Amino acid sequence: MKKCIVSNDAPKPVGPYSHAVQAGNFLFVSGQLAVNPMSGKIEGEDIKAQTQLVFKNIEAILKEAGFSFEDVVKVNVYLATLEDFAKFNEVYSTIFTQNFPARTTVEAKLLPGALIEVDVIAVKE
């Protein structure tokens, strides 16, 4: 059985998708950009600022479903340029400090103004 999750503290979905879908003990969080939930616009002039906002939005979605970063088992990261990898990693390492999730990081063409997009999978035992 699946349950669609939508958080009022994350940017409103702009298409036919949910913030996340819970299937059993798994939570699949849709890709999040550095969108301010209040303005609906991409914010952050650099990769560090955008990474912080992306993970703030993901945290709101996880919380809405009763999960936390400790439950995250897989992270997919899409960077507009891999030149931002080291600076992204500086912020990432403050969010995941132990028991690191598996991660994939790739360079991808993103929406205008976006430097990063992230989706995660979490699981509760």
* 41 contacts: CB under 8 Å, gap ≥ 6: 35
Q: Which segments of the chain are extended strands (E)?
A: 2-5, 20-23, 26-32, 72-79, 102-107, 116-123
pLDDT value of residue 43: 97
pLDDT value of residue 1: 85
**CB-based contact 53:113 (threshold 8 Å):** no
Q: Show the domain range for 35.
A: 2-123
| 82-121 per-residue burial string, b: 16 or more CB within 10 A, e: under 16 | eebeeebeebbeeeeeeeeeeeebeeeebeeebbbbbbbb
Domain count, the chain: 1
pLDDT value of residue 85: 98
- The pLDDT of residue 52 is above 90: yes
- The pLDDT of residue 110 is above 90: yes
pLDDT value of residue 11: 95
User: Over the stretch 60-98, which tens digit does the pLDDT of each residue have?
Assistant: 999 999 999 999 999 999 999 999 999 999 999 999 999
User: Over the stretch 8-47, which tens digit does the pLDDT of each residue have?
Assistant: 999 999 899 999 999 999 999 999 999 999 999 999 999 9
pLDDT value of residue 14: 86
CATH number of 60's domain: 3.30.1330.40
How deeply is 8 buried, as exposed, middle or buried, from its count of CB atoms within 10 A (0-12, 13-18, 19+)?
A: exposed
DSSP codes joined into one string, 81-101: -GGGHHHHHHHHHHH--SSPP
pLDDT value of residue 12: 92
